[in-house]
Amino acid sequence: MKAIITGCLLLLSFIPVKAQTNFYKISVGGGFGVTQSFTDLKKHDFGLAGYGVIDYYFSPFISAGLEGQMGEINSGDVKTDAAGRQSINTYKAINFNTKFGLGTLIDYRRGGFANTIKGLYLGTGLGMVMNSVNNVRKVSYEQEIPYPGKSKSTDLLIPINLGINFYFPDRYGYCRYILNFNYQSTFTLGEGLDGYDNSSVNFKAGKPDAYTYFSVGMRYQFGSIGLADKTLFY
């Protein structure tokens, strides 16, 4: 009997075992940042915006969630634009998105640079933006007729996120806090961001209105516990 037990223990010692760790599946957070417009108007101006987010984590580096934004997207300049056009869009946006982190693919256990960039991620999604535009100049100089476009509109949007997370543990060693830096490029399926619709004059489709959003924020993780093959901290 002793020989059998010893043999079994010896066999188990040659079987590779992966270390497993727990992680929280839900996070909530928010932050603030700067928008920049890319619309029909030549000047791509800046604005301020805040956001809130809730995410569900399938693993420490793969998530899906909802994000809401509120702030300003500004375009043009009444003093420098050839047609004297300018817009201030007090917008609200919401999108469903997924993110895939680099930590899923690389071995960062030895520390160093790989451990620093494990929180890099790429993501995309789908949502809508609700525009409320104040057009500083609505009428053309030459013909004294209103420029085409709507002050209030809703457009579909496609966000593309590139960012990085930095993880901080609680006193039990689990990841509880995340510092996030995110750069979002958002493409809309409409002409509502600046309130000017050049396509209705030119009778041809132009470039879709877009904006970027660089933000800094914090996340708090909680909720049910998941099991993963990789721990965030070594």
Strand intervals (E) in the chain: 21-38, 46-59, 62-76, 86-101, 120-135, 152-169, 175-188, 210-228
Share of the chain above pLDDT 70, in %: 85
| Between 179 and 230, the higher pLDDT residue | 179
Other beta carbons within 10 angstroms of residue 224's beta carbon come to: 8
Domain 18-228 part of CATH 2.40.160.20:
yes
N-to-C CA span, the chain: 40
Question: How far is C-alpha 70 from the geometric centre of its chain's CA atoms?
Answer: 14
Contact 85, 67 (CB under 8 A): no
Alpha-carbon gap, residue 48 to 63, rounded angstroms: 26
- pLDDT category at 18 given cuts 50, 70, 90 is low
Whether 13 shows a pLDDT value over 60: the answer reads no
Whether 141 shows a pLDDT value over 50: the answer reads yes
DSSP three-state, residue 16: coil
Q: Which amino acid is at 172?
A: Y
- Read off the pTM: 0.85
